[in-house]
């Protein structure tokens, strides 16, 4: 077997003082086991990112780092949000690791799936996504809203793995490629499939939080969904344009009707001109708005400074 890879497990933590003692113990035991089985290299680390927590999360992380060489800690100056905390962790891990796994601090995602992740990695996958086989432990509300969201995203043309969380493995080259995306508004679940590397999925059953409560209240969930749509899809703008065209077409039909009424003398004075202007102007305004929106959408995508290509391999001979 070739050398085992150096694995970094990145864990974003926001007010997780209750979960961390349990989480750290379990994840450390898992890494020890994987090192013993020569699945990962002894230099593998668990990197915890404190996302500007208000409780004692950082004290817990700092304590772990001081007493245990397997842990690394990053503290963000303010609450930057789940995605940004993850990004911070990935940025720190990238130069040091062969592959990286991100997992939530509450261990709702089964850590034993990591064996499957690493097996897929050894078999050549650059991206391994954890997929929840059931959402039995989620509330009915969370389940239906989440499923509706995935459906909507797919309809808007965003490629997303159904029921995938932010529990995934990235090889160092996939990680490097992902980190080269220049956008500030990001939605990792939609961005990772854009990388295009060889991808595998591993199924697992999602459990309950080990401790504490969800850091995603409804407000954040809605924000997360809007972020997902607006950061990846320009389609909503196109719908405005379409509505405008429809409106204008209806306006023409309305115009014909109005003219007929006018000539038949069945309309009161002033009605015809008012009706015509309402429909035609309304339609034209919507089309114009949609058109401006199209350009703004283009500008938006430009400002993301995404890489134009992602290199998978480059075969060449420097001697020649
Ligand atoms: N999280 C974070 N910053 C935030 C909110 C959440 O780093 O502003 C972390 C949190 O500590 C956890 C992960 O993101 O590790 C997922 O949050 P949670 O488990 O509360 O979400 P849920 O499973 O309820 O969707
Ligand atoms: Mg959770």
| pLDDT tens per residue across all 320 residues of the chain | 578 999 999 999 999 999 999 999 999 999 999 999 999 999 999 999 999 999 999 999 999 999 999 999 999 999 999 999 999 999 999 999 999 999 999 999 999 999 999 999 999 999 999 998 877 777 888 888 888 888 888 888 888 887 778 899 999 999 999 999 988 888 898 899 999 999 999 999 888 888 888 888 888 888 888 888 888 888 888 888 888 888 888 888 888 888 888 888 887 777 777 887 888 888 888 889 888 988 998 898 888 888 888 887 788 888 76
Q: What count of other Cβ atoms lies within 10 Å of the Cβ of residue 73?
A: 20
Ligand 1 atom index nearest CA of 212 = 20
- Does residue 66 sit in helix, strand or coil? helix
Ligand 1 atom index nearest CA of 86 = 7
The ligand minimizing its distance to the Cα of 142 is: 1
The residue assigned the tokens 């999360």 is: 57
13 ligand 1 Cβ < 6 A: yes
The ligand minimizing its distance to the Cα of 89 is: 1
User: Both ends of the chain: CA-CA distance in Å?
Assistant: 33
Which DSSP symbol is given to 137?
T
**pTM for the whole structure:** 0.84
- Which of 10, 11, 12 to mutate to test ligand 1, by most ligand atoms within 8 A of the CB atom? 12
110 ligand 1 Cβ < 6 A: no
Question: Of 44, 26, 48, which is closest to residue 36 (Cα–Cα)?
Answer: 44
- Ligand 2 centre distance from Cα of residue 108 (Å): 6
> How large is the angle between the packed helices 271-303 and 235-264, nearest 10 degrees?
170
16 ligand 1 Cβ < 6 A: yes
Which DSSP symbol is given to 106?
T
């Amino acid at each position: 077997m070739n050398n085992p890879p150096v694995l970094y497990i990145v864990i974003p933590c926001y007010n997780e003082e209750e979960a961390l003692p349990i989480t750290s113990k379990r994840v450390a035991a898992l890494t020890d086991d994987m090192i013993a089985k020569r699945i990962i290299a002894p230099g593998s680390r668990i990197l915890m990112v404190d996302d500007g927590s208000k409780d004692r999360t950082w004290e817990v992380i700092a304590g772990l780092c001081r007493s245990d060489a397997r842990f690394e800690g990053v503290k963000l100056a303010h609450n930057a949000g789940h995605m940004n905390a993850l990004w911070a962790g990935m940025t720190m891990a990238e130069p040091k690791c062969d592959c990286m796994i991100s997992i939530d601090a509450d261990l709702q995602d089964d850590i034993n799936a990591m064996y499957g992740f690493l097996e897929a990695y050894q078999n050549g996958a650059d991206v391994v996504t954890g997929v929840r086989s059931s959402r039995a432990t989620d509330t009915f509300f969370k389940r239906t809203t989440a499923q509706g969201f995935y459906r909507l995203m797919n309809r808007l043309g965003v490629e997303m793995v159904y029921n995938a969380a932010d529990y995934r493995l990235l090889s160092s080259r996939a990680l490097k490629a992902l980190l080269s995306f220049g956008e500030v508004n990001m939605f990792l679940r939609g961005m990772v499939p854009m990388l295009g590397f060889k991808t595998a999925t591993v199924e697992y059953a999602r459990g309950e939080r080990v401790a504490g409560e969800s850091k995603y209240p409804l407000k954040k969930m809605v924000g997360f969904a809007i972020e997902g749509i607006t950061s990846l899809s320009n389609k909503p703008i196109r719908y405005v344009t379409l509505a405008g065209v429809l409106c204008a077409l209806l306006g023409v039909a309305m115009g014909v009707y109005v003219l007929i009424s006018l000539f038949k003398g069945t309309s009161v004075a002033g009605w015809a001109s008012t009706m015509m202007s309402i429909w035609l102007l309304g339609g034209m305004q919507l089309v114009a708005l949609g058109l401006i929106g199209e350009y703004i959408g283009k500008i938006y995508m430009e400002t993301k400074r995404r890489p134009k290509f992602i290199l998978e391999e480059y075969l060449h001979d420097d001697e020649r």
